[in-house]
Amino acid sequence: MRIDVLTLFPEMFDGVFSSSILGKAREKGIVSLAAVNFRQFSTDKHSTVDDYPYGGGGGMVLKPEPMFAAVESLVPADGPRPRIILMCPQGETFTQQKAEQLSSEEHLIFVCGHYEGYDERIREHLVTDELSIGDYVLTGGELPAMVVIDSVARLLPGVLGNETSAVTDSFSTGLLEYPHYTRPAVFRDWEVPEVLLSGHHGKIDAWRREQSLLRTFKRRPDLLEQAELTAKERVWLAGLREREERLMEREAQQHVDRAEKE
């Protein structure tokens, strides 16, 4: 896979692209990573990439000319069109499913902006995707691009040492991942669950599935609406919901009783 990033601060990617999993993937030739300063595609003597917005208002807006020229320099005229991804708060929320979709592409171009925003013609006529990593605002698109690139690259064959890791990660199955333990078996009187020491793979798999469901139920119950569950699992989760509702009702009544006594 080839990944190019258009940014005003390419030096931000030096460590990210040369370290850890991404660095190893780059060394193996699994992924090609490059950060390109789109300021070099400006045509005026001041290398201007932004200007005041038409109609007035605060902030500066990235101009279309340098961005279009930068993208066109990375895409052969007769070659396949890559996915061109604009990082912005207004974009589609990035998910594991989106990462899996992007990991099947041969060429990705990320556009990282600064200032007030982008000329709308960049959105309408240049990019293919707009992505956000959450409902908050950052200084620029560089950090979000790093997040997405890391998430996508680790799904490529040969990037991870253990090929099953990406499959069992949280969100890959639609559920949060089960708890993990390693040696020692007892640490400060906290013991590893006995089932994990049993060597019985069937029981271990069942325990992990149950823990995954339980953790998702407690932390991200919204994910259960789309998860693939068996009929038995749905009944079990329904029982958990009933017990939780009864507990909440009991706690609410206790609060009322204490208030009346006071």
- Residue 66: cis peptide before it, omega within 30 degrees of 0: no
Q: Establish whether 66 is a catalytic residue.
A: no
* Tens-place pLDDT, residues 164-183: 565 556 566 789 999 999 99
Give the span between the Cα atoms of 38 and 7, in whole angstroms. 6
Where does residue 84 fall: left (phi above 0), alpha (psi -120 to 50 degrees), or beta otherwise? beta
SS3 content of the chain, % helix, strand, coil (to 5): 45, 15, 35
Cα 249 to Cα 221: distance, rounded to the nearest angstrom: 19
Q: Which of 65, 100, 105, 116 is catalytic?
A: 116
Residue range 61-66: mean pLDDT, rounded = 96
pLDDT at 125: 96
> How far is the C-alpha of 131 from the C-alpha of 133, rounded, in Å?
7
Q: Is 177 a catalytic residue?
A: no
- For residue 57, name the pLDDT band (cuts at 50, 70, 90): confident
> Is-catalytic flag, 242?
no
The chain-wide mean pLDDT, for the chain, equals 93
- pLDDT attached to residue 171: 67
Helices (H) and strands (E) in the chain, counts: 9, 10
Which pTM value belongs to this model?
0.83
**Catalytic residue (choose from 65, 100, 169, 233):** 169
Q: Active-site residue 169, yes or no?
A: yes
**How far apart (Å, rounded) are the C-alpha atoms in residues 215 and 178?**
7
Name the catalytic one among 10, 82, 119, 154. 154
Per-residue pLDDT tens over the stretch 93-124: 999 999 999 999 999 999 998 877 899 999 99
